[in-house]
Amino acid sequence: MKGICILGATGSIGVSTLDVVARHPHLYKVVALTANKNIDALFEQCLAHSPEVVVIVDEQKATEFKLKIENSPLANLKVLTGADALVEVSTLPNVDSVMAAIVGAAGLLPTLAAAEAGKTVLLANKEALVMSGDIFMNAVEKSGAQLLPIDSEHNAIFQCMPASYQTGVSAKGVRRILLTASGGPFRTMPLEQLPQVTPAQAVAHPNWDMGKKISVDSATMMNKGLEMIEACLLFNMKPEQIQVVLHPQSVIHSMVDYVDGTVLAQMGCPDMRIPIAHALAYPERFESGASPLDIFAVKHMDFEPADLVRFPCLRLAYEAITAGGTMPAVLNAANEIAVEAFLNEQIRFTDIPVVIEKTMQQIPVQKGDSLEKILEMDSKARVIANHAIQNLAN
Ligand code: NAD
Ligand code: MG
């Protein structure tokens, strides 16, 4: 029986993780759940999964939650608050596995702490890895933590790697990675219509049901840019070895191209419970609850290269990883600010890459060799991105 901590339990990945865990109660015990503000969803999850401890980052919401559980079956539940408590629960001695499913930079410290503590880290939070890069991968190597990718593409690549492959090392015989992308909701929209798209249109992904931030990232293809950087780090590859492939059906979740001409692909329905179940059961397999793939219904699959004019965010991600050091953290922070401003209707969809590029131009690259420096660059990028947004709005 393994103990699991789910960081970001109330989000899209968190909910899917609990769905899979509940199918295997003899294998996993839920030790800790965390949420930012959504105490109603967390309350229901606690009733269903009986964790020992919860973290509600927002202090006011934590106080409300304590009142809510007073005369309920959850009266004895331990409730913690504040961002430091995330680190506390992700390193508890009875936690074996940590699902890192907080969105954005807020997930960095608890995810890194889990890696340093030698936990099995199920990594959904790509922003944490993009920001901290080598620091994170070195922490995994030093502690002997098992790092298993949850992002569907990286989980697919991991599954197509040679037997007993460990993340962080370059696999023998691999020529390149074919990183698939659906192309999001605006793949074929005439370019002149893009400035007018609304947050509701951007969030409505054709194939996947996800949180708002990653849905906007999928529409700009910054998601694929972050995933390209994620792939370089997880599989120790160079950016030029990662080929982005538009595949609108989202049946193949990525491919590995070997030097002998073999290409291995992982396929399945677009359901995040598949990579989650793969990582939870690893190295074995168990049921995920996902429907089997109906290959006859798929009929055909299309592949095309990504258009960097339509998707400038993807170009910016290649530029950031090529610059290296602190630049991916700057890219990520500026993107988080720009996406939020777009969702709040402060800027247009096509302003997102403009804000990111302006921010990247104003912050010279430095070595990404300390966490302090990375967090400093993250804060700086947020300030500059906010300035760029004000200038656009005026
Ligand atoms: P979501 O918005 O649905 O959920 C985010 C979770 O993080 C929630 O539980 C929320 O309470 C918590 N959270 C938000 N801000 C926080 C803060 N400041 N402090 C602490 N907790 C905070 O997001 P999601 O779609 O589940 O995505 C989570 C992560 O997984 C992202 O990094 C995303 O890129 C990655 N991912 C998601 C999918 C998917 O299908 N949803 C696929 C691949 C990767
Ligand atoms: Mg993905």
Distance from Cα 13 to the centre of ligand 1, integer Å: 7
Ligand nearest 227 Cα, by number?
Answer: 2
| Residues 60, 39 contacting (CB under 8 angstroms) | no
Span 111-115, average pLDDT: 98
Domain boundary among 149, 179, 199: 149
d(CA 344, CA 3): 38
- What is the average pLDDT value for the chain, to the nearest integer? 97
Q: What is the pLDDT of residues 150-171, one digit of tens each?
A: 999 999 999 999 988 999 999 9
Q: Six-digit token pair at 218?
A: 């999928």
Q: Cβ distance 174 to 257 under 8 Å?
A: yes
- Per residue, what are the HEC states of 89-140? HHCCCCCCEEEECCCCHHHHHHHHHHHHCCCEEEECCHHHHHHHHHHHHHHH
57 found inside a domain: yes
Residue 221 to residue 227: CA distance in whole angstroms = 10
Local confidence band at 207 (pLDDT 50, 70, 90 cut-offs): confident
Confidence of residue 208 (pLDDT cuts 50, 70, 90): confident
Domain assignment present for residue 217? The answer is no
Tokens of 74: 């959850």
The pairing of strands 174-181 and 252-258 is antiparallel
**Is the confidence at residue 227, as pLDDT, over 90?**
yes
Instruction: Check residue 267 and report its DSSP letter.
Output: E
Asked, for residue 332, whether it belongs to a domain, the answer is yes
Which residue range forms the structural domain that includes residue 340? Answer: 324-394
> Does a structural domain hold residue 14?
yes
CA 8 to ligand 1: nearest atom:
9
From 149, 180, 209, give the residue that closes a domain.
149
**Does 227 map to a domain?**
no
- Structure tokens, 355: 């804000």
Last residue of a domain, one of 149, 172, 199: 149
* Phi, psi angles (nearest 5°) of residue 286: -145, 175
Joined tokens for residue 130: 């993009």
- The total domain count for the chain is 2
- The residues, ordered by sequence, that sit 6+ positions from 8 with a Cβ below 8 Å of its Cβ are 14, 34, 35, 36, 99, 100, 101, 102, 103, 107, 124, 125
C-alpha distance from residue 364 to each of 98, 358, 367, 368, 381 (Å)? 34, 12, 10, 12, 11
Mutate to test the pocket of ligand 1, among 88, 127, 150, 214 (most ligand atoms within 8 A of CB): 214
Segment 116-124 mean pLDDT: 98
Index of the ligand 1 atom closest to the CA of residue 209: 40
For residue 345, the domain's CATH number is 1.10.1740.10
Judge whether 248 lies within some domain: no
Check which CATH number belongs to the domain holding 94 and give it. 3.40.50.720
Whole-angstrom distance, CA of residue 374 vs CA of residue 327: 9
Would you say residue 61 lies in a domain? yes
Q: At what angle do helices 327-343 and 126-143 cross, to 10 degrees?
A: 140
Q: Which atom of ligand 1 lies nearest, measured to the CA of 15? A: 26
Residue 394 clears pLDDT 80, i.e. is over it: no
- Ligand 1 centroid to Cα of residue 211, in Å, is 6
Residue 366 has pLDDT above 90, yes or no: yes
Q: What is the pLDDT of residue 139?
A: 98
291 C-alpha to center of ligand 1: Å? 24
The gap from C-alpha 360 to its chain's centroid, in whole angstroms, comes to 22
Res 206: pLDDT? 83
| pLDDT tops 80 at residue 393 | no
On whether residue 11 sits in a domain, the answer given is yes
Which atom from ligand 1 is nearest to the alpha carbon of 125? 32
Of 146, 120, 108, 142, residue with least CA distance to 371: 108
Residues with CB under 5 A from ligand 2 (ion): 151-153
Task: Give dist(CA 369, CA 360) in Å, integer.
Answer: 19
User: Could you tell me what percent of the chain has a pLDDT over 90?
Assistant: 97
Summarize pLDDT for 290-303 with one digit per residue, the tens.
Answer: 999 999 999 999 99
Omega within 30 of 0 (cis) for the link into 312: no
Secondary structure (3-state) at 230? helix
